[in-house]
Chains A and B, each alone.
Chain A
Amino acid sequence: MSMSENRGGSGLDVDSIPNGPGAAAILAAGIGCAVVGILALAGDASNAIGKLLNFYNPTGTLSGVTTLAIIVWLVSWFALNRSWRTKNVSMGWINVAAFALLAVGFLLTFPPFMDLLQGK
């Protein structure tokens, strides 16, 4: 067996697997994380948005924040995967975007940073 055979988990030749589906999953994960943070901030900053995000009263705003974040994550993953499934894309830019979005997710869920943005 040559080194180019069966190196991927799928058993395919490594060079024959486009990186598009992987890039789509990576970028979509970043988008999902960022949306958690953005909606958490929006729900905290605005009572009206907070009430709109109250999908399930016992859980409150958190129910809408997480439900919408999961939907946006899965829809963006599906859409990106459709666009890139047979392509090779620039992983450098995908990584920069995905890590930036991940950082947005961490920062916007951190209450002192949320308060700072709202001038509290």
Chain B
Amino acid sequence: MEISTHDLWTVLHGMGFGALFMLAFSGALAELYRLSAPGAPTLPSQREKNLMNAYLVAMVILAWLTVFSGAYIVYPWYRAVPPAGASDLADYPRRLLLSSGKTSEWHNVGMEWKEHVAWLAPIAMTMVAYVTMKYGRAITRPRLMRTAVLGFAVAAFVATGVAGAFGAFLNKYAPVRGGSVIILKEGER
């Protein structure tokens, strides 16, 4: 059982940071709604506020780790340029996709959208965390602040979903390969 360093970073970017960030949305959206729902019967305790703040800060950190690891570690491998005359494009995912009309739109639409739209998520989520931590339940006064916070949180979720879905498909049709091999476990045969 072995994995290459490029595979490992791709998994860390997509599953370690991105998927964990995406999974955290369900909890964040439910808690943000509960916190700011009109007529909420109880005020959150200090412990609940601290927990919510830590949760949101962790989401913001995951969001930024996802986009920076994607743009500055994985993406350069994706767009690597093959040497002139190279016929095996397996280690050059962008060129591999563009080499066929059956796969070129995975790059032209999928990667081109994913690489940009993903950056909306950390910007939006940083705002959501800041406003929620600063105002707490006060975001319901006026309710429009609550609308902005929930709207941008949903937008961050959608942006992450687009980037994550295209990332999964792109890695299926043109996986990022190469790098040093890390042997995790030797098999008997």
- B43 at the binding interface (Cβ < 8 Å): yes
Residues of chain B at interface, number, CB under 8 A:
44
A110 neighbours in B (Cβ, 8 Å): 113, 117
Beyond A37-B116, A109-B117, whether A9 also contacts B124 by CB under 8 A is no
- B79 at the binding interface (Cβ < 8 Å): yes
* Contact A9 B132, beta carbon cutoff 8 Å: yes
The secondary structure that dominates the A interface is helix
Inter-chain contact count A-B, CB under 8 Å? Answer: 127
Determine the residue in chain A with the shortest Cβ distance to B125: A29
* Contact A29 B126, beta carbon cutoff 8 Å: yes
Interface residues on A, range: 35 or more
- B29 at the binding interface (Cβ < 8 Å): no
A60 neighbours in B (Cβ, 8 Å): 79
Beyond A36-B119, A105-B120, A111-B108, whether A62 also contacts B71 by CB under 8 A is yes
Beyond A6-B43, A66-B119, A106-B120, whether A14 also contacts B141 by CB under 8 A is yes
Determine the residue in chain B with the shortest Cβ distance to A88: B142
Supply 7 further A-B pairs (C-beta < 8 A) apart from A28-B127, A33-B155, A91-B145.
A9-B134, A21-B134, A22-B134, A25-B127, A29-B126, A98-B148, A102-B152
